[in-house]
Structure 1
């Protein structure tokens, strides 16, 4: 099946079609040259769609790995492996580098400050992975195609001066995610019922959010309020927040299901 037919089968259009086409180009290039090839950084949704596309293209599980520079990375690249390289050694040809931008603690900076500064320098978003901000520094995962430019040229974010250096990926500072534990019972594990508990709203309002296309389950848009969730699923509602279904417990005497949710704050 040719590239166009594969993209049509996946129902890809617009910007998504262009992004998926580039992924397929990298895969075909790797197969043709027998070389390691990497995509740009992909969002979780793009990554899942790309994996679906690669399955349709006949790419086996051992032909590529997904990596973002550290275990819990949200934005990741797909790294296509040459025949001679085992998956366990994929990081040896990874194009990801980590830059640490240090700043004075009395001038706190946010993720938005760093991303805005990078975009202002003309660095495309897909060349930048996760931006991990702590009290006095930020670790920024970038592709090697822009790393040296940033090391030489990136001096500030807004009015705050930065001290930039490259660090080993094994030394990345990962900030602790801020979450609130919510324990509740739900009538079922339907998406609308769990959203109502996780985001503290009526079930009717939750159903409206789902039908309006503002809800993602595991980074994929979902418009079916009756979708059944499973332990470990992550749900986000644009403009309302995000939570993870951390645990599903037993059933109460009234037939309701106990759940533990971790809501990101």
Structure 2
């Protein structure tokens, strides 16, 4: 780990220690994929308390860690709010992207670690944020790129929310990470391998650098700057020993 990653690991261990010593539930900021990998790969004996992660919905990519003092049951809620952003006038609205919404938040002086996933659907944006900043963002986010917008907090999102996806089916020679990614993305096997070896691929929040990593049913695979897919499993086996599989590619 580099210095910045080492400092994050120490911070997470410290949050665990504080939760244990004070007997209280403590939350981290939102962690990105690399930060979640550091959390998940830190030896468990370094943490004095157990932890869980969540980002506002089951398939969230950026997630908070919650540290629980002991094995007892705790009634707690993650301090996450959802801001729904819609254009003031659909007629004059631009086709806004994830980058547009993130840029508008950065222009408000919001730190990236305070913001979770940003989901863009049709002419609507859903922004997962730390609860403490929800009202500030809702009151001050009035323009995204050149589009005037309206905001509301906590409306229109179900707990079981799942982003839209495209279902893909195809045959692969084995359930290796590179084979499944090659089915989901229009890239050559060599380019897929390069992405994996460059540390850009995560499975269930853990960094995977082996292209031969064998996937399990329902694994969630995230590729930096390319998106996410869910590996659903084997549908059947062909006479030539290949596997017909199904994946969901989130769009």
Q: Above 0.5 in TM-score?
A: yes
TM-score normalized by structure 2?
Answer: 0.81
Q: 1:9: which partner in 2?
A: none
**1:89-146 deviation line (CA, Å, top 9, x unaligned):** 221xx32222222323231422221110001111111001122333343232211332
Once residues 202 and 162 of structure 1 are traced to their aligned partners in structure 2, the CA distance between those partners, rounded to angstroms, is 41
Once residues 182 and 58 of structure 1 are traced to their aligned partners in structure 2, the CA distance between those partners, rounded to angstroms, is 41
Q: Which shifted more, 231-240 or 22-31? A: 231-240
From 165, 181, 186, the equivalent of 1:195 is: 181
The Cα shift of 1:188 comes to: 1.9
Once residues 84 and 206 of structure 1 are traced to their aligned partners in structure 2, the CA distance between those partners, rounded to angstroms, is 41
Q: 1:6: which partner in 2?
A: none
From 238, 241, 246, the equivalent of 1:260 is: 246
Q: Is the 8 A contact 1:132 1:174 kept in 2?
A: no
Once residues 209 and 238 of structure 1 are traced to their aligned partners in structure 2, the CA distance between those partners, rounded to angstroms, is 9
From 129, 142, 163, the equivalent of 2:129 is: 142
**Residue 104 of structure 2 is aligned to residue 117 of structure 1:** yes
The Cα shift of 1:86 comes to: 2.3
Q: Is the 8 A contact 1:139 1:172 kept in 2?
A: no
Unmatched 5+ stretches in structure 2: none
Q: 1:96: which partner in 2?
A: 80
Cα distance 1:14–1:206, how it changes in 2: closer, same or farther (>3 A)? same
Kindly indicate which of the two structures has a greater share of residues assigned to helix.
1
From 5, 11, 20, the equivalent of 1:31 is: 20
1:122-133 to structure 2, matched below 5 A, reads 122-133=109-120
1:216-227 to structure 2, matched below 5 A, reads 216-227=202-213
Once residues 178 and 46 of structure 1 are traced to their aligned partners in structure 2, the CA distance between those partners, rounded to angstroms, is 26
Q: Is the 8 A contact 2:26 2:66 kept in 1?
A: yes
Once residues 111 and 46 of structure 2 are traced to their aligned partners in structure 1, the CA distance between those partners, rounded to angstroms, is 28
Once residues 36 and 235 of structure 1 are traced to their aligned partners in structure 2, the CA distance between those partners, rounded to angstroms, is 29
From 139, 149, 158, the equivalent of 2:145 is: 158
Q: 2:29: which partner in 1?
A: 40
From 11, 28, 36, the equivalent of 1:22 is: 11
Q: 1:69: which partner in 2?
A: 56
Once residues 169 and 48 of structure 1 are traced to their aligned partners in structure 2, the CA distance between those partners, rounded to angstroms, is 31
Q: Is the 8 A contact 2:83 2:134 kept in 1?
A: yes
Structure 1 residue matching 2:4: 3-state secondary structure: helix
Cα distance 1:90–1:209, how it changes in 2: closer, same or farther (>3 A)? same
Q: 1:248: which partner in 2?
A: 234
Cα distance 1:256–1:165, how it changes in 2: closer, same or farther (>3 A)? closer
Unmatched 5+ stretches in structure 1: 1-11
Structure 1 residue matching 2:218: 3-state secondary structure: coil
Once residues 147 and 29 of structure 1 are traced to their aligned partners in structure 2, the CA distance between those partners, rounded to angstroms, is 26
What's the RMSD between the two structures over aligned residues?
A: 3.1
The Cα shift of 1:259 comes to: 1.7
The Cα shift of 1:41 comes to: 0.4
Cα distance 1:242–1:100, how it changes in 2: closer, same or farther (>3 A)? closer
Q: Is the 8 A contact 1:129 1:142 kept in 2?
A: yes
Aligned residue-pair number: 248
Kindly indicate which of the two structures has a greater share of residues assigned to strand.
2
